[in-house]
Amino acid sequence: MDEQREQAVTDEVVASFADTEDERLKEIVGSLTRHLHAFAQEVRLTQEEWAAGIGFLTRVGHMTDDRRQEFILLSDVLGLSMLTVGINAPDSPEATPSTVFGPYFVEGAPEVELGGDIAFGAKGNPCWVTGSVHGVDGSPVAGAHIEVWEADEDGFYDVQYEGDRTAGRGRLTADDEGRYRFWSVLPSAYGIPDDGPVGDLLAATSRSPMRPSHLHFKVDAPGYRTLITHIFVSGDPYLGSDAVFGVKDSLITDFPEHPAGAAPDGRAIDGPWNSVNFDIVLEKA
């Protein structure tokens, strides 16, 4: 096919959407068609490669169920998730940046008192987490809802273990001055699930499945945009090669280690422990 005949195929497909009533849908399917066709033309896609691509997407679909979302994982490793986060970023530069949600959030995590422990037996160095929630105008967000979740020292979330134990996650409510505090464990680096087609893609392209250690936050309060983010442990060796491109410099945070002894809340700790402070700034809805 020469260039003109290839262009005629693209034009015909785009034109086939002309009667789409929803203008936004029309824009999306038209643009998707043009970009998909441009991609096939750019790489001069062979029949065998087209079939391999269909086979790959079929495996992604078969791998996906209630507990495993291989399509989101594919979006994550292709950077589409982070690109979408960026496109929809808050307008105010002072607002805390968002990053990928990931597949390990669980609705209905246990409610934990301020100062309580979200580890629930998760393995790792104890970690004292403090911070505040403010709006971009500096006013405290009293009663903000904070959900946190993290991997244990072996790099696994509770939902990756057999059984239905809840550990390393919890829900807290900020106090009247928007402050929060809780115990957790020092998060660890881990590999994203790589036993499916996305893992095969990473292996075939010599990419690592590793994510740098991080603690997830979902913060919401009436009148404010929900924030989905995480803080990364400074010094982590994977900060420059996150498999899902989620690292933003302003989210890299110190988690200093302290010797055994009395913690800030008076708790006596018989081994080393860490601490971190994370002040959160929300944009108005």
**Contact positions toward Fe ion, by CB under 5 A?**
102
Q: What is the smallest separation between the CB atom of 150 and ligand BEZ, expressed in angstroms?
A: 9
192 binds, among Fe ion, ligand BEZ, none (CB under 5 to 8 A by kind): ligand BEZ
* Of the residues 134, 169, 211, 218, which one makes contact with ligand BEZ according to CB under 6 A: 211
The 138-177 site mask, x for binding ligand BEZ (CB under 6 A), equals ----------------------------------------
Q: What is the smallest separation between the CB atom of 122 and Fe ion, expressed in angstroms?
A: 13
- Residue 135 or 212 having the CB closest to ligand BEZ: 212
As a whole number of angstroms, the distance between CA 129 and CA 277 comes to: 6
Dihedral (Cα; 109, 111, 113, 115), 10-degree rounding: 0
The residue written with tokens 């441009």 in the block is 38
Piece of 8-16, 36-44, 100-108, 261-269 that binds ligand BEZ (CB under 6 A):
100-108
As a whole number of angstroms, the distance between CA 219 and CA 226 comes to: 6
- Residue 50 or 161 having the CB closest to ligand BEZ: 161
Nearest to 130 by CA among 280, 284, 13, 262: 280
* Of the residues 33, 102, 156, 231, which one makes contact with ligand BEZ according to CB under 6 A: 102
* CA separation, residue 123 to residues 23, 106, 117, 182, 270 (Å): 51, 19, 13, 16, 15
* Of the residues 192, 221, 227, 281, which one makes contact with ligand BEZ according to CB under 6 A: 192
- Residue 141 or 219 having the CB closest to ligand BEZ: 219
Q: How many residues does the chain have?
A: 285
Chain residue at closest Cβ approach to ligand BEZ = 102
89: how many CB neighbours lie within 10 A of its CB?
A: 14
- Residue 85 or 244 having the CB closest to ligand BEZ: 244
Nearest to 149 by CA among 159, 135, 134, 162: 159
Q: Please report, as residue ranges, which positions from 65 to 94 form the binding site for ligand BEZ (by CB under 6 A).
A: 73, 76
Q: Is 103 in the site for ligand BEZ (CB under 6 A)?
A: yes
Displacement of CA 14 from its chain's centroid (Å) = 34
User: N- to C-terminal Cα distance for the chain?
Assistant: 51
Q: What is the smallest separation between the CB atom of 154 and ligand BEZ, expressed in angstroms?
A: 15
Q: 3-state class of 117 per DSSP?
A: strand
* Of the residues 244, 247, 251, 280, which one makes contact with ligand BEZ according to CB under 6 A: 244
Q: What is the smallest separation between the CB atom of 77 and ligand BEZ, expressed in angstroms?
A: 8
- Residue 141 or 247 having the CB closest to Fe ion: 247
For residue 259, give the amino acid letter.
P
As a whole number of angstroms, the distance between CA 35 and CA 9 comes to: 13
Q: How crowded is the C-beta side of 136, counted as CA atoms within 13 Å? A: 16
As a whole number of angstroms, the distance between CA 49 and CA 99 comes to: 33
Residues that bind ligand BEZ (CB under 6 A): 73, 76, 100, 102-104, 192, 211, 244
